[in-house]
């Protein structure tokens, strides 16, 4: 869709305004709205000005003017606004040089796609994330100088089997037994299907939806794979739709990786493959039907996983999920079918088009543009340097002895550790100017100052259980 076609869409749909959205450095959508009287073909070349100093991780106040440039190919009618509203995703430009902004996550993803093509290895990187999330009935939290607490609640929560709900109707998924029960135990079927219907309304192809393993309304909706930038766009829509449909039902949805203690956290397994034209390049005659190229790609992912984690698992809470011995795969090994490996090769089909790898360590707090780009760059580094992946680990990793695990590297144990790995291992990200040194430095600085250090400063409620009587 070009500018003329986007404006025709707005006219045909009787839009009264256009909502312009862009992704901030951390990963949240930001927006502002202009009336149709302000829209013309000229704005697609001239853009709209805004204050870049008010966006997380972006410009200093003395250098704050920036431009948003609407991408007409992303035009779609918003499914939630009261007044007919056309929405477009925007790119960010410097108003003086008109160059694309290096800290714009979407720009980084576009450069990753361009770099892939420039290598001659392939021309399309497909990504298929599987973000998990919780649909809750109530959330309360506070943190101040003298107190700190959180309370999550769900009518599905196993802890509510004895609650006086006037009446309590039972059928609450047991801890770690929420995978695939039919209603009434799965009480959120219609809510998830409403989410799917809205996703399809804005052009997202959905493969399936289901209840996930945890109690308390854990869910998953799977999107059909798409090229990197398009999937980054779709992930933003995905989160927006889930949160807004939940709100329409008087519910709240969160992509926080670990909101419930002692039950499964929310991951975001990411399927990925490289194609050249109509040819899938990861199919071959090697292990699990994979090509040498695919195995080199896997080797790149495993080599750089601890640095990738700074983008794929970018919150302190991410590491409440990535704990050795629990449900999330923290050991950097690969296997076919084995879900305890951090990289899995799905074996659902023998079709060459289905050959892909699945990185299982990421979580849905990630900025998709950055996480997908970092994984692609790591995989390409593996291909370019013909990295050897070693032998697969087809055993259940959770049952291995400490001696058997001694030579298996693992994911970082904290956000700070992941950021340290990124500081030490990021040359692969700088190729093709995809990630700049400024992006790496700013990401580390922002995360340390605003997340790692802030958590360090505050007593944790459980510390009072452990230490008050010391």
Catalytic one of 21, 211, 269, 426:
269
200 is catalytic: no
User: Mean pLDDT score of the chain, rounded to an integer?
Assistant: 94
CB atoms within 10 A of CB 95: 13
Compute the distance between CA of residue 111 and CA of residue 432 in angstroms, rounded to an integer. Answer: 8
What integer is the mean pLDDT of 19-47?
Answer: 93
pLDDT value for 61: 67
Reported as a single tens digit per residue, the pLDDT across 134-158 is 999 999 999 999 999 999 999 999 9
As a whole-number percent, the residues of the chain with pLDDT over 70 amount to: 99
The reported pTM is: 0.94
Catalytic one of 113, 130, 263, 416:
130
132 is catalytic: yes
User: How distant is the alpha carbon of residue 150 from its chain centre?
Assistant: 24
99 is catalytic: no
113 is catalytic: no
Catalytic one of 174, 337, 339, 456:
339
Q: Cα-flanking dihedrals φ and ψ of residue 450, to 5°?
A: -100, -15
What integer is the mean pLDDT of 45-74?
Answer: 86
416 is catalytic: no
220 is catalytic: yes
DSSP 149-189: EEEEE-TT-GGGTT---SS-----PPTT--SSPPTTTSTTH
What integer is the mean pLDDT of 342-346?
Answer: 92
Catalytic one of 91, 132, 263, 363:
132
Catalytic one of 360, 363, 416, 421:
360
pLDDT value for 328: 81
pLDDT value for 275: 97
212 is catalytic: yes
Buried b (16+ CB within 10 A) or exposed e, 283-319: bbeebbbbbebbbbbbbbbbbbbbbbbbbbbbbbbbb
- Asked if pLDDT for residue 371 goes beyond 90, the answer is yes
**Closest-CA residue to 410 (of 345, 360, 342):** 342
- Asked if pLDDT for residue 296 goes beyond 90, the answer is yes
146 is catalytic: no
Reported as a single tens digit per residue, the pLDDT across 155-212 is 999 999 999 999 999 999 999 999 999 999 999 999 999 999 999 999 999 999 999 9
């Amino acid at each position: 869709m070009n500018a003329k076609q986007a404006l025709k869409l707005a006219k045909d749909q009787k839009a009264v305004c256009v909502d312009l959205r862009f992704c901030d450095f951390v990963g949240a959508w930001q927006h502002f709205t202009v009336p149709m009287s302000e829209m013309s073909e000229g704005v697609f070349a001239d853009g709209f000005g805004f204050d870049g100093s008010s966006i997380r991780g972006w410009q200093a106040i003395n250098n704050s003017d920036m431009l948003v440039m609407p991408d007409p190919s992303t035009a779609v009618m918003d499914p939630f606004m009261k007044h007919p509203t056309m929405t477009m995703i925007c790119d960010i430009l410097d108003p003086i040089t008109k160059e694309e902004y290096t800290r714009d996550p979407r720009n980084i993803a576009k450069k990753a796609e361009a770099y892939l093509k420039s290598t001659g290895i392939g021309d399309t990187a497909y990504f298929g994330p599987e973000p998990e999330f919780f649909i809750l009935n109530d959330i309360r939290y506070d943190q101040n100088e003298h107190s700190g607490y959180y309370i999550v609640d769900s009518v599905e929560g196993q802890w509510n089997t004895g609650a006086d709900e006037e009446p309590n109707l039972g059928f609450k998924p047991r801890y770690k037994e929420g995978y695939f029960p039919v209603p009434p135990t799965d009480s959120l079927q219609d809510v998830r299907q409403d989410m799917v219907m809205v996703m399809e309304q804005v052009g997202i192809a959905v493969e399936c939806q289901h209840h996930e393993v945890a109690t308390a309304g854990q869910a998953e909706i799977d999107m059909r794979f798409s090229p990197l930038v398009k999937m980054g766009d779709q992930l933003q829509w995905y989160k927006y739709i889930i949160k807004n449909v939940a709100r329409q039902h008087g519910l709240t949805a969160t992509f926080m990786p670990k909101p419930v203690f002692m039950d499964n956290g929310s991951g975001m397994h990411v399927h990925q493959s490289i194609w050249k034209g109509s040819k899938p390049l990861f199919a071959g005659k090697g292990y699990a039907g994979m090509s040498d190229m695919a195995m080199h790609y896997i080797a790149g992912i495993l080599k750089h996983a601890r640095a990738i984690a700074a983008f794929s698992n970018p919150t302190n809470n991410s590491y409440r999920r990535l704990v050795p011995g629990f449900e999330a795969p923290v050991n950097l090994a690969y296997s076919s079918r084995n879900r305890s490996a951090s990289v899995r090769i799905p074996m659902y089909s023998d079709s060459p088009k289905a050959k892909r790898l699945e990185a299982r360590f990421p979580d849905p707090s990630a900025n998709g543009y950055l996480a997908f780009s970092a994984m692609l760059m790591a995989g390409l580094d593996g291909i370019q340097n013909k990295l050897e992946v070693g032998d697969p680990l087809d055993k259940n990793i959770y049952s291995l002895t400490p001696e058997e695990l001694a030579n298996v590297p693992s994911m970082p144990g904290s956000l700070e550790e992941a950021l340290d790995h990124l500081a030490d291992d990021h040359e692969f990200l700088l190729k093709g100017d995809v990630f700049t040194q400024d992006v790496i430095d700013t990401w580390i600085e922002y995360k340390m100052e605003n997340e790692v250090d802030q958590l360090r400063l505050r007593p944790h409620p459980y510390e009072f259980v452990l230490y008050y009587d010391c």
